[in-house]
Amino acid sequence: MTSANATSHGVVLRERSRIQLNNTAKEVSEAKGGRVQLSGLSKEYGGFRAVDHVTIDIAAGEFVTVLGPSGSGKTTVLMMIAGLVEPSAGAITIGGRDVTHLRPQHRNLGVVFQSYALFPHLTAAENIAFPLRMRRRGEAEIRQKVEDVLDLVRLPNVAQRLPGQLSGGQQQRVALARALVFDPPVLLLDEPLSALDKKLRENMQFEIRELHRNLGVTVINVTHDQTEALVMSDRVIIMQDGRVVQSGSPSELYERPKSNFVADFLGTSNFLKGELELQEAQRPDGWSLVTAGGLRCRVPESARGSKGRACLMLRPERIMLNSAAEMEERFEGRVAEIAYTGNIIRYRVALNDQEIVEVTLQNKPGHVPQASIGSQVTIGWNLEDVHIFVESTTD
């Protein structure tokens, strides 16, 4: 093939690719809503299964965060939805259309990566316009859409700046704008706020949440940041070792964890391990968890009747310190540590030589007791705030 023919052939192939991209994008975007369904999705690397038969149904317009520690499989799930990783098994549908084996550019998904992946030689406006030019949109439409989306992300005056001239927060907004400019039915976020400082990250959580409410796009966010997941999401899906271990609203997962892994991973928790026992001399509700250090903690009704090893979980903010309020359980202890964090004061209270619990109190007048390291204190809680996770049972 001559050089001229090869060039002509290449042009034809690129044009066909653009036409296919336009047609595929049109079909996906016209699919009903932006519902995403993962059915038995798995990914193996050699003999290691990174994702193990994950089935998730995400409603159109829902903001879902997939949360988990490193190695839980959450990023691999997102990469399979994006088309950047090929599943070993299972199916992915968007708007009722099977996209399992479609190339990334044919899925019509907006994606914001952790690194933002902006072209350093292009201005903010040119970066944002890039997906539209790939879709062969007219220049007048491109200019208008770029202007609109810059207003949407509150950056109307940075259009001609290069990424290197923008702050981290501004780069993050430009990446968001580029992902949204072509009106995708689904937006994928891969740790989008991890490169920002704490205050800016907190501000951006609310801004992204507001964008979601205004646009109604389906959002799938992957993060290891618990606060980010709780603040931004309609629903949180927690993964461990490649599997979904619990899914629910932020309040449901925090208030009613189904395992000590979920309770430990989401938020801060106190754990007291011991044996579940019924003391015959006590009243009928006398089921207790007896710890290694000799504490005898009454358990809620849901745990009565079980025997064997168990773990009692209690959130630090549900424990009262030197309070005159009526409490169902009270124990004496000694303040081992105090951490002042501004709005919160954290106390670590030793109940005996083996068991220490953390208590957190809001820093407000009349609410913080006069306690110092080494002082004797009384802590207490109500049974409705106690969770029991049974590790094993005996006859």
Query: What ranges in the chain are assigned the alpha helix state H?
Result: 3-30, 74-82, 124-134, 139-152, 168-180, 198-215, 226-232, 250-255, 260-265
Domain check: are 240 and 305 in the same one? no
64 in Cβ contact with 219 (< 8 Å): yes
What pLDDT shows up at residue 394? 44
- Number of Cβ within 10 Å of residue 265's Cβ equals 22
What pLDDT shows up at residue 179? 93
Domain check: are 185 and 63 in the same one? yes
Amino acid at 259: S
What pLDDT shows up at residue 279? 66
**Among candidates 169, 77, 74, 64, which has minimal Cα distance to 116?**
169
- Rounded to whole angstroms, the Cα distance separating 298 from 301 reads 9
3-state secondary structure of 377: strand
Domain check: are 63 and 198 in the same one? yes
| Tokens read off for 278 | 């019924």
Tell whether 352 is covered by a domain: yes
CATH of the domain at 297: 2.40.50.140
**Among candidates 127, 136, 163, which has minimal Cα distance to 22?**
136
Tell whether 358 is covered by a domain: yes
Domain check: are 380 and 240 in the same one? no
Burial class (CB in 10 A: 0-12, 13-18, 19+), 38: buried
Tell whether 207 is covered by a domain: yes
Domain C-terminal end among 255, 290, 319:
255
293 in Cβ contact with 352 (< 8 Å): yes
Per-residue pLDDT of the chain (395 residues; tens, 9 = 90+): 444 444 444 444 444 444 444 444 444 443 334 899 999 999 999 989 999 999 999 999 999 999 999 999 999 999 999 999 999 999 999 999 999 999 998 999 999 988 888 999 999 999 999 999 999 999 999 999 999 999 989 898 999 999 999 998 899 889 999 999 999 999 999 988 887 888 888 888 898 998 898 889 999 999 988 989 999 999 999 999 999 999 999 999 999 999 999 999 998 999 999 998 876 545 556 788 899 899 999 888 877 766 788 999 999 999 999 887 888 999 999 999 999 999 899 999 999 999 999 999 998 877 677 788 999 999 999 999 999 998 855 44
- Rounded to whole angstroms, the Cα distance separating 68 from 199 reads 23
Full residue range of the structural domain in which residue 292 is found: 268-390
Domain check: are 152 and 203 in the same one? yes
What pLDDT shows up at residue 23? 46
What pLDDT shows up at residue 9? 44
What pLDDT shows up at residue 164? 93
Domain check: are 234 and 378 in the same one? no
Domain check: are 176 and 300 in the same one? no
Domain check: are 198 and 60 in the same one? yes
Domain check: are 131 and 189 in the same one? yes
Tell whether 263 is covered by a domain: no
What pLDDT shows up at residue 285? 61
DSSP 196: S
Count of domains forming the chain: 2
What pLDDT shows up at residue 300? 87
CATH of the domain at 177: 3.40.50.300
Domain C-terminal end among 208, 224, 255:
255
